[in-house]
Chains A and B, each alone.
Chain A
């Protein structure tokens, strides 16, 4: 498993927790690296923002808006986190 795979696994787990705690009408199943936050889960922009804050706090990093604008899947986000950690 690569570092990005590890991060994607962690981000999936964070997303499952976030959805359980904050998104009452969605079931957090089958979330994986290729899950698209908007088209698969239909998360609203404010929910994505809150989830990104969870990621930032978990890794103690800040993610800039330009990077986020190109991220659709958990794997995309994992790539951003990996770059920050390196």
Chain B
């Protein structure tokens, strides 16, 4: 039995952390960007700062076509939908975006959600029920854990990207493997490493399970047309459910799921995070549709993104910093401990570089990281400045 005497006792540990962060000067969890100057620069504490932790992979947040689409939508359709699609009806843009995403992926169906988080919650909580089994990569995003928990299914975690551990758990399920959903991400958000999808597809076929891939960080980044890691590996058609977000490469807010399973359309009737949430605002849908067009018609953005990723990764590697395993637009520098991560993060801010400080329990293996995400909009000079700033801190 929990011996708390007050409703608020549980916040004691958080309060201690908050106090410690506040005492250190600038709290990395409460950074205010006072002015957004461009997709890659903002003002923090009055100082022009390179934004190297935004997930704005294609740099589309200031794209003229996207802004114009949003402006026109605000003018003609108003500021919001003021309710859910089930209750208030869909706007034409919701349906159009679902059609365009399904065409982009070559799938029969698509469902969109108001955020990436609710996309995972909405699909998993409706797709799964008690008695079903989930094999979940240990480093999966919190929204995937939460969606599974909400469903009541039995969730078994396997070691990150460990195919052998996955197979052991599939074998142990026996006949239940036919009611099992394997959940992984295309590219992982902290270290930028990718799932071994080819081996996972082999296993899901061998045991008759289903495969769900979250491509939140890989949309617009991987694949010949930017569909993600599954496309990169030629496996699109083998994946049962692909989810993603509008809030990274597409520079907006929202999430989606595409699938060839006809049942995806029935999820609409069972998904509480879909039914009981206001649908995306029309201007958000308009900028997302415009950004998707940009993603499709400007492959050079992806080429620039990878050139920038290469520049940053090789530059930081040359400093003998401890990085993730693969070159990717997510470059994480492993720090010795939380204190050195905080000190390094503050040092970078003072030098005009904003990164993400990642510490336990949010970090994948109990380590502390300073995480950068590269944008196609970063200039060569900005990347050089980021590398130079890191040379002034010690891991």
Tell me whether A and B are bound partners: yes
Q: Which residues of A contact B (CB under 8 A)?
A: 44-47, 49, 53, 56-57, 60-66
Contact A63/B361 with A44-B366, A46-B366, A49-B138 known, Cβ cut-off 8 Å: no
Number of B residues near A (Cβ < 8 Å) is 16
Q: Which residues of B sit under 8 angstroms from A44, Cβ to Cβ?
A: 360, 366
> What 1/0 mask marks residues of chain B from 138 to 157 whose CB sits below 8 Å from any chain A CB?
10000000000100001111
Set B156, B159, B365: member contacting A64, Cβ < 8 A: B156
Contact A63/B360 with A46-B366, A49-B138 known, Cβ cut-off 8 Å: no
Interface status of B168 (Cβ within 8 A of chain A): yes
Q: Which residues of B sit under 8 angstroms from A45, Cβ to Cβ?
A: 360-361, 366
Q: Which residues of A sit under 8 angstroms from B361, Cβ to Cβ?
A: 45
> What 1/0 mask marks residues of chain B from 158 to 184 whose CB sits below 8 Å from any chain A CB?
010000010011001100000000000
Q: Which residues of A sit under 8 angstroms from B168, Cβ to Cβ?
A: 56-57, 62
> What 1/0 mask marks residues of chain B from 324 to 362 whose CB sits below 8 Å from any chain A CB?
000000000000000000000000000000000000110
Q: List 29 A-B contacts (CB under 8 A).
A: A44-B360, A45-B360, A45-B361, A45-B366, A46-B360, A46-B366, A47-B366, A49-B138, A49-B157, A53-B159, A53-B165, A56-B168, A60-B172, A61-B172, A62-B156, A62-B168, A62-B172, A62-B173, A63-B156, A64-B154, A64-B155, A64-B156, A65-B149, A65-B155, A65-B156, A65-B157, A66-B149, A66-B154, A66-B155
Chain B 100-155 residues near chain A, CB threshold 8 A: 138, 149, 154-155
Q: Which residues of A sit under 8 angstroms from B156, Cβ to Cβ?
A: 62-65
Most B CB atoms within 10 A — which of A45, A47, A53?
A: A53
Q: Which residues of A sit under 8 angstroms from B360, Cβ to Cβ?
A: 44-46
Beyond the given A62-B169, A65-B156, A66-B149, please list 5 additional residue pairs across the A-B interface where CB-CB is below 8 A.
A44-B366, A46-B360, A49-B138, A53-B159, A56-B168
Measured CA separation A53–B165 after assembly (Å) = 9
Measured CA separation A65–B362 after assembly (Å) = 18
Measured CA separation A56–B135 after assembly (Å) = 14
Most B CB atoms within 10 A — which of A44, A47, A66?
A: A66
Most B CB atoms within 10 A — which of A57, A61, A62?
A: A62
Most B CB atoms within 10 A — which of A45, A56, A65?
A: A65
Measured CA separation A14–B157 after assembly (Å) = 20
Measured CA separation A61–B154 after assembly (Å) = 13
Measured CA separation A47–B366 after assembly (Å) = 9
Measured CA separation A45–B361 after assembly (Å) = 8
Q: Which residues of A sit under 8 angstroms from B169, Cβ to Cβ?
A: 62
* Nearest chain A CB to B358 CB, angstrom units: 14
